[in-house]
Structure 1
Amino acid sequence: MPREWTCFEDALRRTVQRYVKRGRIDVYINKEAEDGTSPLVSFNHHAVSAYVKAAQDLSQQYGLDGTLTVKDLLSLPDVLHSPEQPKQNEQDDLNAWGNLLQEGLIQALDGLVLMRSQEGKHLATDVEQRLIKLQTLHAEMTKLAPSVVEDYRSKLKQRLSELNDGSFVFDEHKFGMEIAIFADRSNIDEELIRLKSHFEQCKGLLRADEPVGRKLDFLIQEMNREVNTIGSKANHLTLVNRVVEMKAELEKIREQLANIE
């Protein structure tokens, strides 16, 4: 914003923070004349002369090469300034500008909030549809989970039968212990229960009338953790395929959540 308005920066920043709870917002404020043109600027010749002399002194004293260009000079502080008209009551005038800046900023923020609200509805719909897809995959995994141990039992028994050449006696007790150990190691009931709970929490947050972006980010991280655990436990091709599909959907949701406050 113009230099003479920097005293309003803190107040304007607090106004933005009331409207936006997440993300980065850049606000640009320009001053224009009544005819729509920018105010005239003039050179501060004293400042320019001081910069040029300082550059010459540095060059002579330290043997440095290079000269100041017009572009360099224009980027230095106090080289350009806007002529200001004297005011009878500068404090009253300053307060008037502060009120006007707040009014303009609030109008801009109202427009921003309206646009983000419309965009947020579309994003929420997309996330809800992906949650439905996740629930479908979850239901398939829940049905598959009991068959994992039974499939392993059948394959292991068949393999032992193929390897049995009469040199060893099949021990039903040891076989049962091996199946029990595998069943405990591959059990994914707890992960499936927690995933179901996370789905419901996500749906509730999407319907909430408050900033929920960070909470949703946390829930997606938790879902990813549960799905990764299922992937590491599952010794079943179909289950692993469902895990891959779930991770793909969760990544798409995570990308969308970056735009949700």
Structure 2
Amino acid sequence: MVSSMTGYGRGESNDESRSFLIEIKSVNHRYNDIIIRMPKKLSAFEERIRKLIKDSVKRGRVEVYITLDEAKDDDIIIKPNLNIMQQYYNSLVEIKDNLQLKDDIKLSHLIGFQDIFNIENKEAQEDVIWESLSIALNQAISSLVAMRKAEGEKLAEDIRLRRKKIREKVKEIELRIPIIIKEYRDKLFERIRELTEDTVEIDEDRIALEVSIYADKSNITEEIVRLYSHIDQLDIILNESGAIGRKLDFLIQEMNREINTIGSKSSDINISRIVIEIKSELEKIREQVQNIE
């Protein structure tokens, strides 16, 4: 199935601690160029993200935008610093004994001191984060690929229509070849009659030789055969899976080369007109091919 290089995809996922929003867009590019914009804390997953995208997208400039929202209450862990608290308590006991105080030492006396609690950032396990992240990423990739395929099929349909027109035009050229030879022979006879005022007997063998030389110089049979082959190959490639853009681009270059040769070899005004029409269709196909993966 033909895929375009242009598309957009979006995916979302949520768990108890975080939510992801991922947007992916792709445009034309000669190679597979992936640009990822995401929070720094997700940097460890960059290679995994690239691999998932490359498994589905073989060509094009792909921009990935990842937004992460985390539940604030789950970001930290608070632990008592028992060593510090013990030292504070010992100090209070010492003060009480030395001053012969009767009041008991209570917890409320301790919590007023600094540094009795340690506040730590909670480190979530990578596999837990990746599980949630990959859900949103796979959704976005699937959506992107579906859009690229839908647009790719429209491009392929347009190319097939133009391919059909080109084949019909090549057939017109093929049918025109014997007519051109006959017209050249008739014009040669007519020119000789005009120059000799019809007073000299025309040498049929000499005319046949001149016509043969002309036919050989303007022979475009090989080019027509190759063009038919390229036209058939175009349809075969369009039915292939995977990245076919570069194959199509090369094939269109070859078709242009053959039609240019036909145009340079033939001096017939009708063939020249058909050549221009074919080149116009090839240029339109080439523009479409630039957007195919």
Of 23, 28, 51, 2:65 maps to: 28
Q: Does the aligned pair in 2 maintain the 1:198–1:223 contact within 8 Å?
A: yes
Q: Secondary structure in 1 aligned to 2:166?
A: helix
- Quick one: distance in 1 between partners of 2:43 and 2:290? 31
CA displacement at 1:214 relative to structure 2: 1.6
Which position in structure 2 is the counterpart of 1:210? 242
- Quick one: distance in 1 between partners of 2:127 and 2:120? 16
Q: 1:215-254, aligned counterparts within 5 Å?
A: 215-254=247-286
Amino acid in structure 2 at the alignment position of 1:207: N
Which position in structure 2 is the counterpart of 1:105? 137
Which position in structure 1 is the counterpart of 2:210? 178
Q: Does the aligned pair in 2 maintain the 1:148–1:235 contact within 8 Å?
A: no
Which deviates more, 165-174 or 218-227? Answer: 165-174
Amino acid in structure 2 at the alignment position of 1:16: I
1:194 aligns with 2:231: no
Which deviates more, 201-210 or 220-229? Answer: 201-210
Aligned length: 210
Gaps of 5+ in 2: 1-37, 73-118
- Quick one: distance in 2 between partners of 1:172 and 1:213? 54
Q: Does the aligned pair in 2 maintain the 1:188–1:233 contact within 8 Å?
A: yes
CA displacement at 1:156 relative to structure 2: 2.4
Q: TM-score, normalised by structure 2?
A: 0.65
- Quick one: distance in 2 between partners of 1:214 and 1:117? 17
Higher-RCO chain (CA-CA 8 Å, sequence separation at least 6): 2
Give the 3 Å change call, closer, same or farther, for CA 30–88 of structure 1 in structure 2.
closer
- Quick one: distance in 2 between partners of 1:214 and 1:203? 15
Which position in structure 1 is the counterpart of 2:109? none
State the identity %.
42
1:11 aligns with 2:43: no
Amino acid in structure 1 at the alignment position of 2:61: R
**Structure with the greater alpha carbon radius of gyration:** 2
